[in-house]
Amino acid sequence: MPNPIEAAASATPRAVARRIRGLSDRTIAWLFVAPTIFLLLAINIFPLIWTVRLSFTNFAANKPNAEVKWVGLRNYIRILTDDGIWANMQTTAHFLLWTLFFQVVLGFTLAWLINRKFKGNDLLTTLIVLPMMLSPAVVGNFWTFLYQPQIGLVNYVVEVVTGTPASSFSMLGPGGLAKWSIVIVDTWMWTPFVMLICLAGLRSIPDYIYEAAEVDRASKWRQFWTLTVPMVLPFLMLAVLFRGIENFKMFDMVVLLTGGGPGNETLLASIDLKREAFEKWRTGYSSAYAIILFVTVFGLASIYVKALNKVKER
């Protein structure tokens, strides 16, 4: 059997081989990495720097011929002193924290239950993960029907269970329920994702650890809190990181469900940003808005990743 390295060397055209003969390993490594670095710079870093630059101007992308003025920190000051934007941030925080809370609790519980061996386990797992395979546009549309006061299933069930007339309240309308309605839909869709990651964590715990705990006469309750939870925690934290980043920029599903309404009750920061950037065409202002959101999510994610690493080191 021929040596693969020799085979590769002999397959290299002579002209190329002659040219790279004098290059060091480091240079060759750079040659291979260079295209990726170039693409990263072109697609990620340059737009980021450009956005920072635009955020200090009054540039409007729909007026290419208009004079672009340097406005200093005006866009940042306007955003940070705008009560409406702080209200949107609070709405985003409400959505983020409650979806994470419910998804962690339900996702972990489902994973813990499904980790047991029983008949139909695989089928049940497949059924549970179905919602996360759907498009957010589809989910948004059919939950709009489910929430419809006159024909929707949700109001009907509430009427049957509590006796409250179905058409007397609107899950997506005024009355304070809309904020919770979007949390419910996101939880329904993404709890299976958290469950899958937790399930991977649970299945990575070797049986002998539980056997040793049994020998030490540790109760099931104690095994759960001192073995299961700590060993699944890094997985759970990873799931929270993924979902946190995703939900911070949540857009499509909420737009389809409520359009940010009623009023501004479900107007998440990402929806507001899109309106500023691509409907009002305030490019400079929205660049500043985007930078503030980026710094927020980047800062929070960095702190979180440090905490995650500490948990993993334990």
Residue 69 in tokens = 């003025």
Cis bond before residue 35 (omega within 30° of 0): no
Q: Are 173 and 259 in contact (CB under 8 A)?
A: no
Residue with tokens 């702190």: 303
SS3 content of the chain, % helix, strand, coil (to 5): 75, 0, 25
Secondary structure (3-state) at 309: helix
Task: Kindly tell me which of 186 and 276 has the beta carbon lying closer to other proteins.
Answer: 276
3 touches other proteins (CB under 8 A): no
Task: Kindly tell me which of 281 and 304 has the beta carbon lying closer to other proteins.
Answer: 281
**Alpha-carbon distance 5 to 7, whole Å?**
5
Number of H helices, E strands in the chain: 16, 0
Show the site string, 129-168: x = touches other proteins by CB under 8 A, - = not: ------------------xxxx-x--------------xx
**Alpha-carbon distance 56 to 247, whole Å?**
28
**Alpha-carbon distance 128 to 115, whole Å?**
13
Q: How far is the CB of 103 from other proteins (least distance, A)?
A: 26
First to last CA, the chain: 47
Task: Kindly tell me which of 94 and 275 has the beta carbon lying closer to other proteins.
Answer: 275
CA dihedral of 65, 69, 73, 78, whole degrees rounded to 10: -60
Among 86, 259, 303, 307, binds other proteins (CB under 8 A): 259
Q: How far is the CB of 171 from other proteins (least distance, A)?
A: 8
170 touches other proteins (CB under 8 A): yes
Rounded to the nearest 5 degrees, what angle is found at the Cα of 76, between the Cα atoms of 50 and 301? 70
Which residues ranging from 264 to 303 are in contact with other proteins (CB under 8 A)?
Answer: 264-265, 275, 278-282
Among 96, 111, 114, 172, binds other proteins (CB under 8 A): 172
Show the site string, 60-99: x = touches other proteins by CB under 8 A, - = not: -xxx-x----------------------------------
Q: How far is the CB of 277 from other proteins (least distance, A)?
A: 11
Task: Kindly tell me which of 67 and 207 has the beta carbon lying closer to other proteins.
Answer: 67
Using CB under 8 A, count the residues that bind other proteins: 31
Task: Kindly tell me which of 125 and 264 has the beta carbon lying closer to other proteins.
Answer: 264
Which residues are at the interface with other proteins (CB under 8 A)? 58, 61-63, 65, 147-150, 152, 167-168, 170, 172-174, 255, 258-265, 275, 278-282
